[in-house]
Amino acid sequence: MTASVPSSTRPGRFHAAVWRWHFLIGMLVMPFLFMLAGSGALMLLSKPLDDVLNQKLMTVAPGENPLPASVLLERVREAYPHATVKLYLPPQQPDQAARFSLQSGHGGGHGGHGAPSTVAHLNPYTGELLGSMDPADSVYAMVKQWHGTLYLGRIGELLIEMAAGLAVLMIVTGLYLAWPKKGWRALIPGRTLANRAAWRRWHLSLGWLIAVPLLFFLLSGMAWTSIWGGKLVQPWGSLPGTRFELPETQPAPVMDHASMNEHGLHRVPWAVEQTPLPRGPSGPAPLNLDAVVKQAGEQGFEHFRVHFPQGERGVWTLSATTIAGDISNPLDERILHLNPANGEPLKEIRFADYPAMGKAMAASIPFHQGDLGGWNWWLNLLLVTLVMALVITGAIVWWKRQSRRAPPKAEPTSGRRVAVLMIVVGCAFPLSAAVLLVIILLDTLFSQRATTKQQEAN
């Protein structure tokens, strides 16, 4: 009988293999993770900064009798005769300006989806045009573009998706390595930072503190990515077409709810973006903006926006969603389509209509962005600060090693076992799994070359 390896040594070998992969993945992920946390903090801070910078456009002196929305619309059309009005945002407070979202006459795609937009601000009491701005030029929008694409477009988006998926694996391996074998008191950091052991304890403590929130940020943030989010999550979370059928007498629609979005701006929840828009009847559409706003009040809307009809048989749409910033409670989300001929409701979508994955996305995305209220803003600012601290302590622990080279090659059996487990878990994130497979192949190749050189030297 072949002598087996003592069981007491197996955990050590497996632990070493896990530590090696945690190290390798961490070296790749840490710059991206620090960037995501840092830009996330800047996005949170830029929201109140944008309010201050654009105060003259966004605030007015409260009056008594606001002008009808149709009068404000005529002022906008006079000032921008070659633009298409796509959206009306009524004032939510007495001192807030009325806003209209405009797009160039040629549009971009269905209904102007993807075309640059301009938001015109008007005094709702006097009709004075206060000015206009491109939402893409705001500090928040510019930081968000860096946060999501590194200003590299599609390539940057894929790099971030890869890093986010690998970061999930880094967290899983880190929790395994940080499991306190001598009791939870071992995780309490000391008062000194004099040596590597003290920094390591801080790194372990921060890891346990931030692991679950960081997983949430990574998974909810990846909902924006094109592969994991667009090909896997969104289809699972989209409202099925059978739940939103049109009358048989109407032709098949040519647009879906995604056409209500604008360049870089999500106006409707992801759960309904792939759901077709209803079509109005042929013929004249006498319903005007004042009637739509009146209907919104009769239907119980408080904070909402009005989407103008798109195309010849387009319909008026009222929406109140968290992703657009209309409301702070995703349970109250509503999208109501109105017949342009008489104002009667055609179709309505509520939060309760979303599938399970769609509900999860509708709730997690505004939390991720800090849009659920002041408490959410402060909590997210604290969490991203802790993430940056976690990355910094990890880098210091690495820097204080006697040798900053990669850890030695793990025992082959344990190393292969951990590699297989990493691939299995990584399959949940296709792009990250592909990168992980490349890392494994390169690691095996270099290890074989190092072994060959050592044998030749001997």
Q: What backbone phi and psi angles, to 5 degrees, belong to 194?
A: -75, -25
167 assigned to some structural domain = yes
Between vectors from CA 110 to CA 109 and to CA 113, what angle results, nearest 5°? 65
Q: What is the pLDDT of residues 289-323, one digit of tens each?
A: 999 999 999 999 999 999 999 877 889 999 999 98
- The CA distance from 423 to 43, in Å, is 33
5 assigned to some structural domain = no
Under 8 Å between Cβ of 72 and 429: no
- The CA distance from 415 to 132, in Å, is 59
**Structure-model confidence comparison of residues 323 and 10, the more confident one:** 323
Does 349 share its domain with 264? yes
Does 166 share its domain with 258? no
> Of 354, 369, 386, which closes a domain?
354
196 assigned to some structural domain = yes
- The CA distance from 327 to 273, in Å, is 18
- Number of Cβ within 10 Å of residue 125's Cβ equals 17
Under 8 Å between Cβ of 16 and 414: yes
Does 382 share its domain with 433? yes
Under 8 Å between Cβ of 237 and 375: no
Does 259 share its domain with 311? yes
Q: What is the mean pLDDT of residues 133-156?
A: 90
Between vectors from CA 279 to CA 278 and to CA 280, what angle results, nearest 5°? 125
9 assigned to some structural domain = no
- What domain count does the chain have? 2
Does 286 share its domain with 345? yes
Does 253 share its domain with 339? yes
* CA nearest neighbour of 409 among 5, 4, 19: 19
Quote the domain boundaries for residue 209.
15-44+153-226+377-457
Sign, CA dihedral 443-447-448-453, equals: positive
For residue 215, name the pLDDT band (cuts at 50, 70, 90). very high
Does 279 share its domain with 348? yes
| Range list of H helices, 178-264 | 196-221, 234-237
237 assigned to some structural domain = no
- The CA distance from 68 to 415, in Å, is 71
- The CA distance from 193 to 324, in Å, is 45
Share in percent of the chain as helix, strand, coil (round to 5) = 55, 10, 35
* Whole-structure pTM value: 0.83
**3 state DSSP class of 346:** strand
- The CA distance from 9 to 121, in Å, is 70
Under 8 Å between Cβ of 328 and 373: yes
Does 35 share its domain with 90? no
369 assigned to some structural domain = no
**Structure-model confidence comparison of residues 365 and 306, the more confident one:** 306
Q: What is the pLDDT of residues 322-360, one digit of tens each?
A: 988 899 899 999 999 999 888 899 999 999 999 888 888
> Of 354, 385, 402, which closes a domain?
354
Does 292 share its domain with 349? yes
148 assigned to some structural domain = no
